[in-house]
């Protein structure tokens, strides 16, 4: 059922996110639609998962933790030491409970930061779009864009590797969910 109200969501995001983050959300939406068209994924789901993926990004660490405690969202050790990661879990919950997002959209938002072992094509598209949207100009991304436009699974693997290396370079622990994701993504390409 297509029930999400774009204007209402945009007003919500505009009121909460910094301008750069708001524009990033629109860019992720655009890229997600483009990839959904390329890879025959539901456009409605891609559009709204992209638009909503960072809807909790404005929340402070304490707010994220309090939200999780209140809504029985589990917090593991890595999330406890880097609570910013929780914007994905909290954002998924807000998308569902505030806006009525369907389970596919909710899941894509939940996995957009750490990924997971089981990723649907929609989940992969949101994960990738978050990294390669047109506003991102980091070195190495143009190469990833080319791979993504050629093959979704290869592009997803390249995006995962890029993000995991980035976390490692910052001296942070890699979450098991991301390692599991990397393992499955590599195996899919071997098959």
Binding site for Fe ion (CB under 5 A): 54, 130
**Smaller CB separation from Fe ion, 159 or 190:** 159
- Provide, rounded to whole angstroms, the least separation between the CB of residue 33 and Fe ion: 15
CA distances 8 to 15, 95, 99, 100, 175, Å, are: 11, 12, 9, 12, 34
**Smaller CB separation from Fe ion, 101 or 186:** 101
**Smaller CB separation from Fe ion, 54 or 89:** 54
- Provide, rounded to whole angstroms, the least separation between the CB of residue 30 and Fe ion: 13
- Provide, rounded to whole angstroms, the least separation between the CB of residue 84 and Fe ion: 9
What burial letters (b/e) apply to 30-60, b meaning 16+ CB within 10 Å? bbbbbbbeebebbebbbbbbbbbbbbbbebe
- Provide, rounded to whole angstroms, the least separation between the CB of residue 191 and Fe ion: 30
Phi-psi region of 74 (alpha: psi -120 to 50; beta: other; left: phi over 0): beta
CA pair distance 143, 141, nearest whole angstrom? 5
CA distances 105 to 38, 96, 115, Å, are: 18, 8, 14
Place of tokens 């990033």: 24
CA pair distance 34, 47, nearest whole angstrom? 9
- Provide, rounded to whole angstroms, the least separation between the CB of residue 134 and Fe ion: 13
**Smaller CB separation from Fe ion, 58 or 184:** 58
**Smaller CB separation from Fe ion, 138 or 186:** 138
């Amino acid at each position: 059922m297509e029930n999400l109200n774009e204007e209402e969501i945009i007003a919500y995001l505009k009121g909460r996110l910094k301008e750069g983050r708001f524009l990033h959300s629109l860019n992720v939406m655009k890229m997600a639609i483009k990839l959904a068209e390329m890879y025959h994924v539901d456009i409605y789901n891609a559009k709204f998962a992209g638009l909503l993926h960072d809807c909790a990004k404005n929340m402070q660490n304490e707010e994220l933790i309090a939200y999780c405690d209140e809504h029985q969202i589990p917090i593991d050790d890595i999330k406890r030491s880097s609570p910013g990661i929780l914007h994905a879990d909290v954002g998924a919950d807000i998308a569902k409970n505030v806006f009525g997002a369907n389970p596919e959209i909710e899941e894509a938002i939940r996995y957009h930061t750490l990924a997971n072992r089981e990723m649907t094509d929609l989940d992969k598209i949101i994960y990738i779009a978050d990294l390669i949207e047109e506003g991102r100009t980091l070195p190495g991304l143009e190469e990833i864009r080319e791979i993504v436009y050629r093959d979704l699974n290869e592009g997803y693997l390249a995006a995962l590797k890029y993000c995991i290396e980035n976390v490692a370079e910052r001296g942070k622990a890699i979450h098991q969910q991301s390692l599991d994701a990397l393992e499955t993504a590599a195996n899919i390409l071997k098959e």
